[in-house]
Amino acid sequence: MRADLAVAGPPAAPGSGLAERLTAAVTAGRRRRGRRALALVAAAVVLAVGGPVLVAGDAGGPADGAGVRRWSGSDGTSGIAAVVTAAGREWGSAVALEVARVPAEGVCALVAVGRDGSEETVGSWSAGGVGGGPVEVSGGAALRPEGIDHFEVRTADGRRLVTVER
């Protein structure tokens, strides 16, 4: 045996209460993880429920909600139904769309049509693969809500699927 190597003796006996302290530390860690998971689930619920309200709501607009307008429409032949909410902003309108039963495949777009006949594309999405299920799209337009006559959901080639009116 080499002289510079020391031989270790038997391990020291743990102090009193070590097992209890370790158990308490593990339990506290599990509680923190559980609370974190619960907080994440609560945040997800708040976003799922409150998110559309924040997008279509009146944050940053007039305090009395006068800048928020709602349009709805459906097409009896195709069964497409849509609801559009526009909230006034300094720059124009924050727009939220909910549309269901879009039978078209490919790209669709929401177009705002102004009272003066002007048109602005608010947002677009790929309709393929959604199986006619509901689609939620948000976007913006330079038009203020009071300057919007109606909205149209169109295919990429310009075919109107549904008109959404006040």
Question: Which CATH number fits the domain that encloses residue 84?
Answer: 2.60.40
Q: How far is residue 85's CA from residue 104's CA, in Å, rounded to a whole number?
A: 23
Domain span including residue 80: 68-165
Is residue 61 situated within a structural domain?
no
Task: Kindly state whether residue 45 falls inside one of the protein's structural domains.
Answer: no
Q: Report yes or no on 53 lying in a domain.
A: no
* pLDDT at 97 exceeding the cut of 60: yes
Element (H, E) at 57: none
CB 163 within 8 Å of CB 149: no
Q: What is the dihedral of CA 87, 88, 90, 95, to 10 degrees?
A: 40
Cα(136)–Cα(117) distance, integer angstroms: 25
Cα 155 from chain centre: 23
Among 25-39, 62-76, 88-102, 114-128, the minimum mean pLDDT is found in: 25-39
User: What is the full DSSP assignment across 101-147?
Assistant: -----SEEEEEEEETTS-EEEEEEEE-TTSTT--EEEEEEESS-GGG
For residues 105 and 81, the model is more confident at 81
| Count of structural domains, the chain | 1
Determine the pLDDT at residue 58.
Answer: 39
Question: What is the value of pTM for the model shown?
Answer: 0.60
Compute the mean pLDDT over every residue in the chain, rounded to the nearest whole number: 78
Any idea which of 2-11, 18-27, 42-51, 78-87 has the lowest mean pLDDT?
A: 42-51
5, part of any domain: no
Q: Is residue 154 over pLDDT 60? A: yes
The answer as to whether 46 is a domain residue is no
What count of other Cβ atoms lies within 10 Å of the Cβ of residue 35? Answer: 10
